[in-house]
Amino acid sequence: MTGRTAGAKMGGILTLNAGSSSLKFALFGPAGEAPLATGLADRIGLQGSLRLKDSAGAALPVAPGSLTSHAQALHCVLDSLHAAFPGIGVGAVGHRVVHGGPERATHALVDAALLDDLATLSPFAPLHQPHNLAGIRAAIEAFPEAPQVACFDTAFHRSHPWVNDTYGLPRQLYDLGVRRYGFHGLSYDYIAGELARSAPALAQGRVVIAHLGNGASLCGLLAGRSIASTMGFSPLDGLPMGTRPGQLDPGVMLFLMDQQGMSPQDISDLLYKQSGLLGLSGLSNDMRTLEASPAPEAAQAIEYFTARIRLEIGSMAAALGGIDALVFSGGIGENSALVRAKVCAGMGWLGIEIDTLANEAHARVVSAAGAATDVLVVPTNEELVIARATRALAGGGERTAA
């Protein structure tokens, strides 16, 4: 938005989720829960592209500009939003930040001290945190007057009991920050709130949420509070994902370093970019591609993915002392009837039984009538969690900066 100075426009909320080469964003009006627009700038630094759509999903025109850096991409995004919504300024900006550290259980208004503190956490999440912080700095530059709010993926999990927060390592490593932080907290926060609204009795019980997207994890909730997560110190642990292996014997790392001469960078690439569904199938990290493929390796990758989810549901149920509901969410959880069916197959011992027709129809409730455990499909909405927190912390989004 050119001319980003105080003016008479209505103060909207811009949400930003800055990845290594992408910038996901949404613009919310001064009130209301539906975004006016959502979009994605991806392949930033390469031959990037920007997509923007309105609340009905129709494509909106994007402003010309190069996507050579996150700051450039943000300018392009703002110019596009300004052209599409000339009456809406940006009153406050909410940011997804992967790591809030061991103590932070709530989201926070950004100031210089917080930014410095969050930068010290970059070694814990080197592939995400620096980009999240670059997004905040770019937004401060674009809107120096607007409150900026940091929303942490780790915050929702700070309620874990100590046994689910630690590893069996010498205590000084725990003090150094080697803990099970858990991630995807914004998604779990949204779903917990949605359950509390739509199924309050269930929300008071033992719920396992499966957030299955490119990243994937489970969260165990007791009365709406996270008590266990499959993700741990980093977003690598737990379930296999699009390009990450999930839980791995640390002996594999030692073997790769000592016997195969792999460098930390090689291992990082292996773990973050070459493993999981992509590595197992040799084909793709995308579930739709795997489901459509006749290759046996694609079927095996899906088999491994769903088998590990079943195992971890068992582990979450053990942490919770049982299970009242299983909730599927994320791009795969919301859209893949095949994955849901495979995850639920053979889980009758936990009271999980699926209704095939409801599952194929992507109904909200996909469990069989009379099954002891409810199985639900709940679309997640991380942007809305960021927008709500930003409104609350920035004073209702009333301040106008653009």
Active site residue 79: no
3-state secondary structure the chain: CCCCCCCCCEEEEEEEEECCCCEEEEEECCCCCCCCEEEEEECCCCCCEEEEEECCCCECCCCCCCCCCHHHHHHHHHHHHHHHCCCEEEEEEEEEECCCCCCCCCCEECCHHHHHHHHCCHHHCCCCHHHHHHHHHHHHHHCCCCCEEEEECCHHHCCCCHHHCCCCCCHHHHHCCCCCCCCCHHHHHHHHHHHHHHCHHHHCCEEEEEEECCCEEEEEEECCEEEEECCCCCCCCCCCCCCCCCCCCHHHHHHHHHCCCCCHHHHHHHHHHHCHHHHHHCCCCCHHHHHHCCCHHHHHHHHHHHHHHHHHHHHHHHHHCCCCEEEEEHHHHHHCHHHHHHHHCCCHHHCCCECHHHHHCCCCECECCCCCCEEEECCCCHHHHHHHHHHHHHCCCCCCCC
State in angstroms the smallest separation of the CB of 115 from ligand ADP.
25
Asked if residue 214 binds ligand ADP (CB under 6 A), the reply is yes
What are the CA-CA distances from residue 120 to residues 81, 103, 181, 308 (Å)?
Answer: 33, 14, 16, 33
Using CB under 6 A as the binding rule, whether residue 39 contacts ligand ADP is answered as no
Q: Which residues pair with 78 in a beta bridge?
A: none
Q: Between 92 and 290, name the residue whose CB sits nearer to ligand ADP.
A: 290
11/213 with CB nearer ligand ADP: 213
Both tokens of residue 7? 């003016």
| Residues 6 or more apart in contact with residue 194 via CB below 8 angstroms | 378
Closest residue to ligand ADP, judged by C-beta, is: 331
| Minimum CB–partner distance for residue 94 and ligand ADP (Å) | 17
The distance of closest approach from Cβ of residue 291 to ligand ADP in the complex, given in angstroms and rounded to an integer, is 6
Q: By C-beta, is 132 or 336 nearer to ligand ADP?
A: 336
Four-residue CA torsion sign, 282, 285, 289, 292: positive
Mark the segment that binds ligand ADP (CB under 6 A) among 5-13, 108-116, 210-218, 370-378: 210-218
From 287, 343, 344, 394, residue interacting with ligand ADP (rule: CB under 6 A): 287
Which tokens hold the place of 326? 């299983």
- The answer to whether 185 contacts ligand ADP (rule: CB under 6 A) is no
- Contact with ligand ADP (CB under 6 A): which of 48, 89, 215, 397? 215
Q: Give min distance, CB of 73 to ligand ADP, in A.
A: 17
Q: Which is nearer to ligand ADP, 217 or 226 (CB)?
A: 217
Closest approach of ligand ADP to the CB of residue 154, in Å: 17
Given candidates 42, 286, 355, 360, which one binds ligand ADP under the rule CB under 6 A?
A: 286
Binding to ligand ADP in span 221-280, by CB under 6 A: 242
CA 237 – CA 188 distance, rounded (Å):
17
Q: Which is nearer to ligand ADP, 25 or 85 (CB)?
A: 25
Shortest separation between residue 307's beta carbon and ligand ADP, angstroms = 17
Contacting ligand ADP within 299-358 (CB under 6 A) = 330-332, 335-336
Q: How near is the Cβ of 33 to ligand ADP at its closest, in Å? A: 20
Tokens of 171: 């205590």
Q: Out of 79, 153, 165, 249, which one is annotated catalytic? A: 153
Residue number with CB closer to ligand ADP (44 or 371): 44
CB of 298 to ligand ADP, least distance (A): 12
Count of residues touching ligand ADP (by CB under 6 A): 13
Q: Which is nearer to ligand ADP, 132 or 335 (CB)?
A: 335
In terms of CB distance, is 269 or 286 closer to ligand ADP? 286
Burial class (CB in 10 A: 0-12, 13-18, 19+), 266: middle
Binding region for ligand ADP (CB under 6 A): 213-215, 242, 286-288, 291, 330-332, 335-336
Catalytic residues: 153
